[in-house]
Chain A
Amino acid sequence: MRKYVCDVCGYVYDPVVGDEENGADPGTPFESLPESWVCPVCGASKDSFAPQE
């Protein structure tokens, strides 16, 4: 599972950790996050994320 980086604020979504505060359990791949999910730091939408190099 790849990590994804927010292009706006630099937040890294780590699928191992997930984003429990916003309903993403640990182990949720980025691709499985709902389209309504936004960056927990800056509110950017999913399409502002790119795979971490």
Chain B
Amino acid sequence: MMNGFTAVPVAKDVFWVGAIDLNVRNFHGYSTDRGTTYNAYLILAEKPTLIDTVKAPFLREMLNRIASVINPDRIEYVISNHSEMDHSGCLPQVMDLVKPDKVFASVMGRKTLAAHFPFMSSVTAVRDGDRISLGDREVSFMETRMLHWPDSMFSYLPAERILFSHDAFGMHLASMERFADEFDTVVLSYEAKKYFANILLPYSNLVTALLGRVKEAGMEFSIIAPDHGPVWRTESDIRRILGLWETWAHQKPSCKAVVTYDTMWGSTDLMARAVADGLASGGITVEVLPLRAFSRSDVATALLGAGALIVGSPTLNNGIFPTVADVLAYLKGLRPKNFIGAAFGSYGWSGEAVGLIERILGEMDAKPAGDRMRLQYVPDAEGCAKCGEFGEMLAKKISELCGRAPSEGGNE
């Protein structure tokens, strides 16, 4: 075995034994600008227990970290909180090498694992509220279906109040630091928001329900150990991440607009700048995301909690420009709520794109803007002025939506 990878103590008898992926920049289409980690945890109980594994190529890294505290052969139980391959990818190899007595997963997890790894029929299913003994301590389970897969479940050490939260409360952030209190909170908040916006948003109602169940069950946490990114271990950090999730799940619109677009000869770009200018002078915070510079997952992040999505596209061969169609297809699937939708764009002769965008915005249940902005070929001074006025008109609507009188102005 390679040396140089060690386990990181998280609490007494609990170790982080995951892997750091410094290189990944495209995680199934999610732009992971800071890489990620695949977190696995080892509980040195009487029955040594591994919680989740790592993405398949990182097997050696995980095994070496385990080997720095215990011979991996001694692992008796493996708990799979989430079947997605970044956490289960080397589970078959682990089972083969370690030969654990039992592998536990939720009822859905048992099915999902079997559908990934056909020979995996020996998984023991646990139900919501079940407890298993690790000899000197217990682990309890809470199903968290569709957060964000049907199989997702929490594992919890009640005595130590340690929650192994699978993808919940996680983020894509590669680093040598393992704990949230070792990071700049701006970075943490941004990456946690990006994760929520791109992974959890469609299930916002379930997040609200889950946080309610956690409160009702009187669950308190001294540590929250997610499957990606840093571990939360201070009272203030834990309170903060739970509070952020609660806020994000409500999708309350703020006085902020997202302008996203692509352009062919710069005309739609010019329009976008003028619209953004109008929004800003109307007192609205504007995030402008040209799709040559920003990914679909950046747009999803910006849209979380925004009061408007303003989409610009030139008309290409009677249709929407492909990058714009891409981002709309993506955003529609994420089912954002409580925002005004508007469309603009330059065109040469037919000009269908704006109408097609409006149709998709309608399917997304966006609140109609009541107007649109279409200009032929290159915007002249008058065209730019019209775009600015369009932005100001939208600013008034957004102010109404976010419950602020337009005259108040200023940033959110």
Binding site for B on A (CB under 8 A): 8-9, 41-44
Q: Decide yes or no whether B108 CB sits under 8 A from chain A.
A: yes
Binding site for A on B (CB under 8 A): 108, 143, 145-146, 150, 203, 205-206
> A41 to B206, Cβ gap below 8 A?
no
Residue of B143, B150, B205 near A9 (CB, 8 A) is B150
With both chains docked as a complex, state the minimum distance between the C-beta of A52 and any C-beta of chain B, in angstroms.
17
A-B pairs with beta carbons under 8 Å apart, 15 shown: A8-B146, A8-B203, A8-B205, A41-B108, A41-B145, A41-B146, A41-B150, A42-B145, A42-B146, A42-B150, A42-B206, A43-B143, A43-B146, A44-B146, A44-B206
Q: Which residues of chain B are within 8 angstroms of A42 by Cβ–Cβ distance?
A: 145-146, 150, 206
Measured in the bound complex, the distance between the Cα atoms of B108 and A44 in whole Å is 14
Measured in the bound complex, the distance between the Cα atoms of B203 and A44 in whole Å is 11
Total A-B pairs, Cβ < 8 A = 19
Measured in the bound complex, the distance between the Cα atoms of B147 and A8 in whole Å is 11
Q: Which of B108, B150, B205 has the most CB of A within 10 A?
A: B150
Are A8 and B108 CB-contacts (below 8 A) given A41-B150, A43-B145?
no
Measured in the bound complex, the distance between the Cα atoms of B108 and A43 in whole Å is 10
Q: Which residues of chain A are within 8 angstroms of B108 by Cβ–Cβ distance?
A: 41
Measured in the bound complex, the distance between the Cα atoms of B146 and A29 in whole Å is 25
Measured in the bound complex, the distance between the Cα atoms of B37 and A48 in whole Å is 35
Q: Which residues of chain B are within 8 angstroms of A8 by Cβ–Cβ distance?
A: 146, 203, 205-206
Measured in the bound complex, the distance between the Cα atoms of B383 and A37 in whole Å is 58
With both chains docked as a complex, state the minimum distance between the C-beta of B154 and any C-beta of chain A, in angstroms.
14
Measured in the bound complex, the distance between the Cα atoms of B205 and A8 in whole Å is 9
With both chains docked as a complex, state the minimum distance between the C-beta of A48 and any C-beta of chain B, in angstroms.
9
Q: A41-B150, A43-B143 are in contact. List 9 more A-B contacts (CB 8 A).
A: A8-B203, A8-B205, A8-B206, A9-B150, A41-B108, A42-B145, A42-B150, A44-B146, A44-B206
